[in-house]
Each structure stands twice: as structure tokens, then as C-alpha cells.
Structure 1
Amino acid sequence: MSSWIRACGLDDIEQEGARRFDHEGRTYAVFRSPDDEVFCTDGLCTHEAVHIADGLVTDYEIECPKHSGAFDYRTGEAKRLPPCINLRTYPAKVEAGEVMVAVG
């Protein structure tokens, strides 16, 4: 069963930005879209376990900082090689200026 947890404040993420957070031994990444929506994925690239939040965010894609693979952070879909396995995604929302994600 999933529970909502606080990832960070909305103001902690720039528009078209990402932020890493860790919870119960796992790493996640939260994203703020150009439209001020928030999204959450696993925090490690599926290709070589690099922290994905350290990559470049452009529009709705995150580029892995190691080999320039790319994912659509809304769906987790691997968009550019070398990754060929999608990122897992999690529900995310903003409540009272806080980014909340459902993990579990």
C-alpha cells in the first residue's frame, strides 16, 4: 500500500528542474514541469544506476548525466539510448506548497 510522503517544497525545484530525495533506503527524483506540474520517478538511471536528478531537464525529458540517455519523466519511458528500460513512476502532487509523492 502506498502512502503520501513529503519529498520537498515546490520552491526547492526550479521550473524544468529535478531534485533527488531518499526514503527508506531508496532514491527517487521529483520533477517540476514547464507547466508547474510535479512528477516522480525512481532516482537511478536504468542503464548504470547514476542519480538521474543530476541530469539536464528540458521540457518533459531528463537526460542522464553519464551517457546522455533520456527519459520522459511523466511516463518514465526511455526515449534515447543507451537506456532501454523505463523508469518506474509514482503519483505526485502539491499540497500547501509541498511536493508529496506516493511510494510504497
Structure 2
Amino acid sequence: MSERVCAVDELIVDQALRVVLDGTAVAVVRDSTGTVHAIGDTCTHGDISLAEGFVEDDTLECWAHGSKFSLATGRPLTLPAYQPVPVFRVTVTGGDVYIDPTPVPDGELPA
């Protein structure tokens, strides 16, 4: 069951917001096209909060070592990270952002 995490208006374009769902830290991002994404907040390379990183186009970059993660798939696009972060389903209803706390299975993610 999805949980309300914030209003869309609370999300600054191209900036991540850290939320916690069922004990899991999630980075919520509204990209420059207005699409809202939710990926695991912890960099798989260095246990760093991705929400403190940099959003560019459809990626979120870890501020500590520069690994970039796809907002759509959670897959790392640059080293040193080589393991993906989880991706969560997002629904926007009535101006509110809802996230399903169960990660999307890798086989259901876009290629």
C-alpha cells in the first residue's frame, strides 16, 4: 500500500528530498520534465545519502565519489558504484506524492 510522502509543490525541481518509508531511506526527485522518481537514498558504493547529491537530467549523483544513478532504473551509470539502488513506484494524486514502500523488481524496470 502506497504512503503519502509529501506534496508535489514541496519538491524543488532537480533537487532530492530524503524520506523514510518502513525504515528505508528513499530519495524523491522531481526532474526537469516534472516527473517524480523515488530511488533508494543510500549510495551502494559508500553508504552516503544520495539526497544530498546532484540531480542532472534523469540521474542522481553521489556527492562523495561521483557515482551517477539512473532515476528510472536505479542502475549506476558511472563508477565507482557498480550495484544498483532500489526503485519505488510513485503515484501523484491530487497534488500529493505517494510511494509504494516495496521496491520494484528488477525485471519490471525499463531497460
TM-score range normalised by the length of the shorter chain: over 0.9
Q: Give 2:32's aligned residue.
A: 34
Q: Give 1:68's aligned residue.
A: 66
5+ residue gaps, structure 1, are: none
How high is the TM-score relative to the length of structure 2? 0.87
Deviation at 1:24, TM superposition (A): 2.4
AA at the equivalent of 1:72: S
Percent of paired sites with the same residue: 27
Stretches (4+) displaced over 2 A? none
More strand by share: 1
- The count of residues paired between Structure 1 and Structure 2 equals 102
5+ residue gaps, structure 2, are: 103-111
How high is the TM-score relative to the length of structure 1? 0.92
Higher relative contact order (CA 8 A, sep 6+): 1
Does structure 1 retain, via aligned residues, the 8 Å contact 2:37–2:71? yes
Q: Give 1:11's aligned residue.
A: 9
The alignment's C-alpha RMSD in Å is: 1.0
Q: Give 1:55's aligned residue.
A: 53
